[in-house]
Structure 1
Amino acid sequence: MSYTSEKLIDDRQNGVFRVHRSLMTSPEVYMDEQRRIFDHCWLYVGHESEIEKPGDYVRRTVAGRPLIFLRDSGGEVRVFYNTCTHRGATLCREDSGNTRVFQCFYHAWSFDNTGRLLVTPGAEGYSSGFRKADYNLRGPARVDGYRGLYFVNFDRDAPDLVDYLGAATEYLDLVFDQACDGMRVVDGSHLYSVGSNWKLMVENSMDGYHAPTVHATYIDFVKDSGGGQRGNALNTGGGLDLGNGHAVMESLAAWARPIAYWEPFFGDDARADIEAILDDLIARHGEERARRMAGTFRNLLIFPNLIINDVAAITIRRIEPLAADRHRLEAWALAPKEEVSGSARLQRRLDSFLTFLGPGGFASPDDVEALESCQEGFRADEPEWSDISRGMSTAPNPQDEIQIRTFWRAYVSMLDTGKFAERVTSLEAPATAAMEAAS
């Protein structure tokens, strides 16, 4: 089967783009994408600040594989499969912690945090052909990081991470350069499962079209508090194909942002402090780049399943497929290290994060309801196709869908050929890079 010809309609001449709904319902498709996409792409595992000290570790599941993301006693970042090399039992059974030794609860085989097998109880029972070095912990073929974000790749022949990220690094830099001394993941995370195909969450995470309807309550809340004054913001900016399946939707910030964009519900006493953030950004990065950081928001996809939302706050979203009709979402708040715990700046950021994207916020519950409703609707026999044609032949607009089409073009191309679709630089109007109107 050719996914490109049978499951995707990409008619650029007539401005029609449709995706067959079986891509969101078929267990066979789910198995294909695990082998052809997740086994070969760089996949996010964690941020360096989560394992700040030697011996720190966190548990993760990436592409169905249990992993330990850690910093060894010498300070090196490592990733191991979370399975004992003896009989396969889960080795690390805590979500996070600090240790020099991992001991399997089954037969007490013990490993140091460089992966070396240290102890095999009853070692005298093994023959001379048994070598401890053969049982050291193992990990994914490739591990690499960019700006503190660490990724794994299960394909030894995969391109280097920086080459894979390509043009997406510009947008990652816009996020990470907001900090004076680097970013950190704030303690705690949101973890929840959703009864829908994982690709619907990818779409939703960078879709501006649903905001005025699904998030109308939040928009009204901002307006009622005297905010959202830049009414043209929702019509300024748009999506961009960044190559290798990566995409971004960038627009003027219409709503509250704790980074140099004051809103009345932050309080009058916060205004001078927020304006000082902008002054500092201008001093460090110049007027144009600073105002782009502070005055625009961006929803960035790192293909296939990492979303960096720099909107109400900075959020890392990792989408883990579980089945054709279920996925798990993990979300973390990212903040500059200088915003220390208890500070007014960090409190504003976390309040903004929770108000919009928190488990009881204005956005996340409604988004989950929308996606699960779509999955329920897919049980109907007709229509067979979902439409993603908006903006194929018009001037760029944040409510258009080129960023979603970018994902789907890469997705079916990877399923068919193992290679990414060619980057769209024509026939679809790209967003302006800096949006000079940002202020």
Structure 2
Amino acid sequence: MADFPRIIDDRAASRFLVPREAFTSEATFEREYAAIFDRCWLYLGHASELAEPGSFLTRKVARRPILFTRDKAGEYHALFNACPHRGALVCRERKGAARAFMCMYHGWTFGSDGHLMSLPGSSGYPDGFKTDPQKQMVHVPRMERFGDFFFISFAADGEDLATYLAEAGDYLRLVSEHSASGMQIVGGTQEYAIRGNWKLLAENSFDGYHAACNHSTYLEYLKNANGALGATPLSGIAHDLGNGHAMVEYTAPWGRPIAHWVPLWGEEGKAEIAAIHAALEARVGSERAERIAHRNRNMVIFPNLVMNDIMAVTVRTFYPTAPGYMEINAWALAPREESEWLRKYRLYNFTEFLGPGGFATPDDVEAIEKCQQGYASGGDGLVNDISKGMNREDGALFDDEEQMRCFWREWDRRLAAVEA
């Protein structure tokens, strides 16, 4: 038998169970890094974050410090942010512009592509030392670009990024099509931590079942804010996008800067939204424009990339540092050409609902942490039930749990492959 907790996926009996040990076991946590985070494609950043040649940013991805650069020729590089000499961080800044990076420990200096440019006391080293491949900064084994989204993999082999993304790739394109001139990351980064297992946030990110109860305060707030809600009902379906990726797509009564008007925006706003919608139709066709403007999407790209295309567009990643602890980063994505008042509304929504101090995220954090605390009650064989909608013949609804089952099947498959 496998020495990690296996899901119970009994389709005939409409029974889907996940052992709670999967959220608490240290051995399972380490196996997840070997089977998932060391093998899957992981989100690194957006092209707009390195808008000019010479720009850079640093980021931690799956416990590893990464230096993401754009060299003077405009080429992008993903480097392990560690000096080949003694291992110190080469770049200690969060982001900026630089033609070279000098390690603070001994002064070794590297170009944006990681090559060793100079080192103090070079006469003490043999000929050819500076060009030795082992003396250069190490590139992440694989980096690929899908539109303006960059992903990396720590595995030297495996499927290409487009194959890995499967049908999720079309929804990344859909987000990009919000803009005629390109999308951009706006402002800074939301950073926070949750005392809970990372898979709980994966579940929560596209769980339509919890909204009415867990986010009741936000829904009441919108009802009492004059004109903040339109007449569109809340309804939708779940999509299996392949390879563990899944999504809920639904209509909702709140406004969307692209391009769903609500009375709060007034007649002037209505005219601008109508113009945006007309331009969208001309560019992508009426059917796709309708989906972009009037449908919301909460998507999880396995294992840990969330795209919330709702009242604002949020890009979110989360990485575990222990079975019961994770670190989260989130960014707002918006059209470059967006007007000042729409941008203001978008960012207000981003912080009001999705931010760590907004209406939704504190609710979600509390629920996740209470789940993790509940697992400490112990008891052999305790399981979570994720079977809602499993017996629905005409397809899962947005408040069913098929999207979570997609995630868990891929999780189980990958851990079983490592076990084998």
Q: Which residue of 1 aligns with 2:354?
A: 357
What is aligned with 1:385?
383
Distance 1:230 1:246 in 2: 31
Provide the TM-score with structure 1 as the length reference: 0.91
Matches within 5 A, 1:152-167: 152-167=152-167
2:16 counterpart SS class: strand
- Separation in 1 of the partners of 2:158 and 2:166? 14
Cα distance in 2, alignment partners of residues 231 and 52 from structure 1: 38
SS of the residue aligned with 1:2? coil
**Mapping of residues 129-278 of structure 1, within 5 Å:** 130-134=129-133, 135-225=135-225, 226-230=227-231, 232-233=233-234, 236-278=235-277
Q: Aligned partners of 1:299 and 1:418: how far apart in 2?
A: 29
Structure 2 counterparts to residues 239-388 of structure 1, below 5 A: 239-339=238-338, 343-382=340-379, 384-388=382-386
The corresponding residue for 2:46 is 47
Aligned to 2:124: 125
For residue 332 of structure 1, give the secondary structure of its aligned residue in structure 2. Answer: strand
Give the deviation of 1:177 after TM superposition: 0.8
The Cα shift of 1:344 comes to 1.4
Q: Partner of 1:399: helix, strand, or coil?
A: coil
State the secondary structure of the residue aligned to 1:13.
coil
Instruction: Indicate the SS of the match to 2:187.
Output: coil
| SS across alignment from 1:260 | coil
Deviations 1:142-187 (A, max 9, x none): 1001110000011111111111111111211211111111111012
Q: Distance in 1 between matches of 2:413 and 2:2?
A: 9
CA distance in 2: counterparts of 1:3 and 1:184, whole angstroms? 44
Secondary structure of the corresponding residue to residue 209 of structure 2: coil
> Within 1, Cα distance between the matches of 2:260 and 2:57?
34
Pairwise CA distance, 1:254 = 3.0
Q: Quote the offset at 1:7 in angstroms.
A: 2.3
Which ranges in structure 1 are unaligned for 5 or more consecutive residues?
420-439
CA contact (8 A) 1:56 1:96 kept: yes
What's the counterpart of residue 88 of structure 2?
A: 89
Task: State the AA in 1 paired with 2:301.
Answer: I
By how many angstroms is 1:127 displaced?
A: 3.1
For residue 231 of structure 1, report the CA deviation from its aligned partner. Answer: 5.8
| Secondary structure at the counterpart of residue 390 of structure 1 | coil
Contact 1:196/1:325, CA 8 A, preserved across alignment: yes
| Shift in Å, 1:54 | 0.8
Deviation per residue, 1:282-327 (Å, 9 max, x gap): 1212221111111110111111110100011100001111111100
Asked whether the equivalents of residues 181 and 338 of structure 1 are also in contact (C-alpha less than 8 Å), the reply is: yes
**TM-score when scaled to structure 2?**
0.95
Query: Distance in 2 between the 1:3 and 1:44 partners?
Result: 30
State yes or no: 1:108 paired with 2:107. Answer: yes
| 2:25 corresponding residue in structure 1 | 26
Contact 2:18/2:383 (<8 A) preserved: yes
User: In 2, are the aligned partners of 1:256 and 1:352 still within 8 Å (CA)?
Assistant: no
CA contact (8 A) 2:101 2:109 kept: yes
AA of the residue aligned to 2:22 = L
Asked if 2 retains the 8 angstrom alpha-carbon contact of 1:89 and 1:106, the reply is yes
- Per the TM alignment, residue 21 of structure 1 is displaced from its structure 2 partner at its CA by 0.8
Q: Can you give the 5+ residue segments of structure 2 that lack an aligned partner in the other structure?
A: none
Matched residues, number: 414
Tell me the SS of whatever aligns to 2:257.
coil
Alpha-carbon distance in structure 2 between the residues aligned to 1:194 and 1:115: 34
Most deviating of 254-263 and 97-106: 254-263
Q: Which amino acid aligns with 1:204?
A: N
Partner Cα separation in structure 1 for residue 267 and residue 89 of structure 2:
52
